[in-house]
Amino acid sequence: MKTVLITGCSSGYGLETALYFHQQGWNVIATMRTPRTGILPVSDRIRVLPLDVTLPESITRVVRDAGPIDVLVNNAGIGVVGAFEATGMPTVREVFDTNTFGTLAMCQAVIPQMRERQAGVIVNVTSSVTLASMPFAAAYTGSKTAVEGFSGSLALELGAFGVRVKLVEPGYGPSTRFTENGTERMQGLIPEAYADIARPIFAAFAQPQAVTCPQDVAEAVWRAAHDVSDQLHFPAGADAIALAGPQ
């Protein structure tokens, strides 16, 4: 029976992906900064472990406790929306620490066992902001675009060892806790000078034409984890698929 380790499982895409893999009969190691009870079924095929991807000792501990990992899903991430001019560098670094360096650190921790077994898949979850530029997302886009470039190179590096690397690119998910989790981080990031520009953009976000549901992402991660072709990019959700264009 295969094992998947998923980061950022407390809600949204990560939680749904953990549920999906469990339903398919996999062993699931669901990680989150602060483990929550009652959100995953009680099962001998589910383990919930604490993990902060910004802390090396936390990564070392969870990889040691997890045992052999067949698929790593780097889903943990935080968001920030606002004018870049108003976004302090401590906030930018916080976003990169989780979204970019946390992903890289998890990859580096798991690669040795996969390389030695000549098998394994790494699925890095980024965002549709990498598919089309949008305003008031510069720091967040930068953190996710870095992972895209990293993953493309890593896929070529690890292919010789039978290890696959894939990207899943979700669209806008209003049903997730993305905004709620970043409320404090995003306070005051739309200065008065940007108000007129921001107003219609945020109004459009309030009434989106197409969105991404957690199930869309879970299914895309599943497809990516089982894909044996050279396909790297897997947009997830109607809006992301439209942005990506013909595949």
Alpha helices in the chain (DSSP H): 12-23, 56-66, 89-96, 102-117, 138-159, 178-181, 195-206, 214-226, 238-244
What single string gives the DSSP state of each residue in 128-188? Answer: GGGTS--TT-HHHHHHHHHHHHHHHHHHHHHHTTTEEEEEEEE---TTSSHHHHTTTTTTT
Alpha-carbon span 198 to 33, nearest angstrom: 32
* Cβ atoms of 122 and 164 closer than 8 Å: yes
Question: What residue type is 183 in one-letter code?
Answer: T
Question: What residue type is 235 in one-letter code?
Answer: P
- Is 140 designated active site? yes
Instruction: Supply 90's token pair.
Output: 């401590």
Of 13, 140, 172, 194, which one is the catalytic site residue?
140
> What residues are labeled active site?
140
